[in-house]
Amino acid sequence: MLSSISLSLKDQVFIGGIVLGLILAIIALIVALVAGGRARRLRSQYRSMMKGETGKDLESLINQYSNKIIVLEHELERVTKLLENHEERLVRKLETTKVARYNAFGEKGNDLSFSVSFLDERGTGTVMSSIFGRDESRVYAKPINARQSTYTLTNEEQEVISTSNT
């Protein structure tokens, strides 16, 4: 039945080389199949990345977002200028109003005379005084800049200006 075949050393080395070649070929085939599967999976991921949910490709999405960024930068500049304008207006707004009532002539009677200041946070504005007398009443207005006036201020006017920042 089975007869023993004796091979020469040369033939044994040749058959061993063939078996080793077949084993290496099978390993190479397995590696190629695994690499092909990974390549297909990467290709699928690449295609899904290059297409957005709406079917747009990545380049058009980047262009669209770039245009939106440019529009938003212009809007930010506009809003920044508007904010600066509002901040300047807030500085100039009427911040404090103080009133001091007094009797201008020291006579018997009520404190019917008064001084009132209308100032912004820079101390710029107006001080008004009403002097009430028996026969007449007079009203004076004086411009104020940095809590100072080019006109002589009465003690009452100086008082309402100096206390207007508190």
pLDDT in tens, 123-142: 889 999 999 887 888 999 99
Please indicate, yes or no, whether residues 63 and 114 belong to a single structural domain of this protein: no
CA angle 17, 23, 28 (to 5 degrees): 120
Q: In this prediction, what percent of the chain has a pLDDT beyond 70?
A: 91
Please indicate, yes or no, whether residues 104 and 144 belong to a single structural domain of this protein: yes
Task: Say how many domains are in the chain.
Answer: 3
Please indicate, yes or no, whether residues 43 and 60 belong to a single structural domain of this protein: no
Q: What is the DSSP string of 64-96?
A: HHHHHHHHHHHHHHHHHHHHHHHHHHHHHS--E
Please indicate, yes or no, whether residues 37 and 61 belong to a single structural domain of this protein: no
Please indicate, yes or no, whether residues 158 and 100 belong to a single structural domain of this protein: yes
Whether 128 is covered by a domain: the verdict is yes
Please indicate, yes or no, whether residues 30 and 78 belong to a single structural domain of this protein: no
Please indicate, yes or no, whether residues 29 and 81 belong to a single structural domain of this protein: no
CB neighbours (10 Å) of residue 129?
Answer: 22
Stretch 144-160: mean pLDDT, rounded? 91
Please indicate, yes or no, whether residues 40 and 59 belong to a single structural domain of this protein: no
Instruction: Tell me which of 38, 69, 90 is where a domain ends.
Output: 90
- Please list, residue by residue across 109-119, b when 16 or more beta carbons sit within 10 angstroms of its beta carbon and e when fewer do: eeeebbbbbbb
Please indicate, yes or no, whether residues 110 and 74 belong to a single structural domain of this protein: no
What are the E-state strand segments in 17-144?
A: 96-102, 113-119, 125-132, 137-144
Whether 42 is covered by a domain: the verdict is yes
Whether 112 is covered by a domain: the verdict is yes
Please indicate, yes or no, whether residues 16 and 45 belong to a single structural domain of this protein: yes
CB proximity list for 37: less than 8 A, separation 6 or greater: none
pLDDT in tens, 13-58: 788 888 899 999 999 999 999 999 999 999 988 877 777 666 667 7
Residue 80 domain boundaries: 54-90
Contact 127, 157 (CB under 8 A): yes
* Nearest by Cα to 115 from 133, 134, 102: 102
